[in-house]
Amino acid sequence: MNPKQIANLILGFHVAISIMAFFGGFVIFLLPWFAIIHLPLALWCGIVNIADWTCPLTPLEKIYRSMAGEGKFEGGFIQNYIGPFVKIKMSPRQLELIAGFAVFLWNIPIYILIGYFVF
């Protein structure tokens, strides 16, 4: 595999993790054991964004993009891949905070419902 393909795989994995952090709670209604995977993932995604940490996938993707001859992008995953779709102009930090709190605010009611109906 060439570096560009590896960078694209890392990006795809990053997108899949983000989607699973937001919507994976619904899977638990069908597969309760999935909470073992989803809960730590959702906590990680929320905390990384709120605490202004860098997800390890971002620098890894940047390394492979650089090896592929593409310029390194500034900022992180949210700023580069989600920010352009947001019509309201916000700073990258504001987008990170919104994403981090959204993961928690979205998943807390889901886990309350799961606790009520499943367990």
The two structure tokens encoding residue 78: 């949210």
In whole angstroms, what is the distance from residue 5 CA to residue 55 CA? 20
Tens-place pLDDT, residues 61-94: 999 999 999 877 777 787 777 777 776 778 888 9
In whole angstroms, what is the distance from residue 86 CA to residue 78 CA? 10
3 contacts 72 by C-beta, under 8 angstroms: no
DSSP annotation of 74: S
In whole angstroms, what is the distance from residue 52 CA to residue 8 CA? 24
User: What are the structural domain ranges in the chain?
Assistant: 3-117
Q: How many CB atoms lie within 10 A of CB 48?
A: 21
Residues of the chain with pLDDT under 70: 87, 118-119
